[in-house]
């Protein structure tokens, strides 16, 4: 099988024995999924793909308990997240275990070499091709962090848990800020009673879930990322609020119908644009809404959401438009 992504193309030309190795935070690539070893990923879709191929997949944020002869880390878009993965692998693997780090040059893979130097770990360049670079080091088994990457900050009157693996790490996204302001100006998410059931899709650090829970709504928050689910759980706990946070590929873990769905849906998979989740969010929304239920979402102004909203709901309204972002609302008809 031919590799589908540049980092996997680089890995495919290596003559090392990767049987039993741990592949950490990889992209979707059928070549990798059909190979050897196990995956460790916070992305539910990655874990599901590996399990569908009959391969071991570890989706928890804590390191897997099984032993591995080595690990390959695919360098992420966020350098702070890459540093977290390196520190976690270094602390959890036995001293001397090989660790390789691969990534695209324009994605900042060379930053990995600097981080390894800061961690006082060796760093050897093994190969470069396909505009990617592969580095090698070995774990020394020493913990380098004490907080596991978790921090907190305050925004919109809510204390938020944050981690490098969560979208908008450490700050409130401008689109989410506009969505919250618009919800406040338009009386919230639903015309039903204050205890409306609301689904927050793509919950991130939990700001929407907490805002809704503060207003006595019954909140279910979902995200494909284990980092986001854990952040939302921590955010709700920090603010003494109730709500459920579930790992879900859009609606895969959502049950029943809701009075409202709210979202700041993602449209990137690392550096690549991926409209798939947002399109499914919109097109499948009527199936998950009670009659009269609303879908309210914020999006960059250039995205093709109006076409999908029209196809799913026949009509919609624009509640806010600041030229960068738009807030849309659509209502499910019927009884």
Distance separating alpha carbons of residues 45 and 249, to the nearest angstrom:
7
| pLDDT tens per residue, range 108-162 | 999 999 999 999 999 999 999 999 999 999 999 886 654 589 999 999 999 999 9
Taking 70 as the threshold, does the pLDDT of residue 335 lie above it?
Answer: no
Output the pLDDT for position 148.
Answer: 84
Residue 299 · residue 175 · CB < 8 Å: yes
- Domains of the chain (ranges; CATH) run 6-138 (3.40.50.150), 151-331 (3.40.50.150)
Residue 26 · residue 39 · CB < 8 Å: yes
3-state secondary structure of 277: helix
Distance separating alpha carbons of residues 174 and 179, to the nearest angstrom:
9
**Of 219, 324, 313, 323, which is closest to residue 263 (Cα–Cα)?**
219
Which residues pair with residue 268 across a beta bridge? 273
Could you tell me which residues come within 8 angstroms of residue 216 by beta carbon, excluding any fewer than 6 positions away? 194, 195
Global pTM reads 0.94
Taking 80 as the threshold, does the pLDDT of residue 192 lie above it?
Answer: no
| pLDDT tens per residue, range 289-316 | 999 999 999 998 888 899 999 999 999 9
Residue 97 · residue 138 · CB < 8 Å: yes
């Amino acid at each position: 099988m031919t590799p589908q992504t540049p980092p996997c193309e680089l890995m495919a030309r290596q003559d090392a024995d990767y049987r039993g190795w741990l592949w950490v935070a990889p992209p979707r690539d059928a070549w990798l999924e059909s190979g050897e070893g196990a995956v460790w990923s916070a992305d539910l879709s990655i874990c599901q793909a590996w399990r569908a191929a009959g391969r071991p997949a570890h989706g928890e944020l804590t390191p897997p308990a099984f032993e591995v002869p080595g690990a390959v880390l695919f360098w992420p878009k966020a350098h702070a997240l890459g540093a977290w993965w390196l520190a976690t692998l270094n602390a959890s693997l036995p001293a001397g275990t090989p660790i390789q780090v691969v990534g695209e040059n324009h994605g900042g893979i060379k930053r990995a070499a600097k981080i390894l130097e800061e961690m006082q770990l060796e760093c050897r360049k093994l190969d470069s091709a396909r505009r990617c670079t592969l580095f090698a080091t070995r774990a020394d088994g020493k913990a380098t962090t004490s907080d596991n990457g978790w921090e907190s900050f305050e925004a919109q009157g809510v204390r938020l848990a944050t981690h490098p693996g969560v979208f908008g790490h450490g700050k409130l996204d401008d689109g989410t800020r506009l969505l919250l302001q618009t919800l406040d100006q338009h009386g919230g998410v639903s015309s039903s009673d204050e205890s409306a059931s609301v689904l927050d899709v793509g919950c991130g650090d939990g700001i929407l879930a907490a805002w809704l829970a503060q207003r006595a709504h019954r909140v279910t928050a979902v995200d494909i990322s284990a980092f986001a689910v854990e952040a939302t759980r921590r955010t709700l706990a920090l603010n003494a609020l109730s709500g459920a946070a579930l790992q879900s590929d859009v609606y895969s873990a959502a049950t029943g119908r809701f009075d409202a769905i709210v979202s700041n849906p993602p449209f990137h998979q690392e550096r690549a644009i991926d409209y798939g989740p947002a399109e499914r969010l919109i097109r499948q929304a009527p199936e998950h809404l009670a009659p009269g239920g609303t879908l309210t979402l914020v999006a960059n102004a250039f995205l093709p959401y109006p076409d999908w909203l029209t196809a799913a709901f026949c009509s919609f309204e624009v509640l806010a438009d600041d030229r960068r972002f738009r807030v849309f609302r659509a209502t499910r008809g019927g009884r």
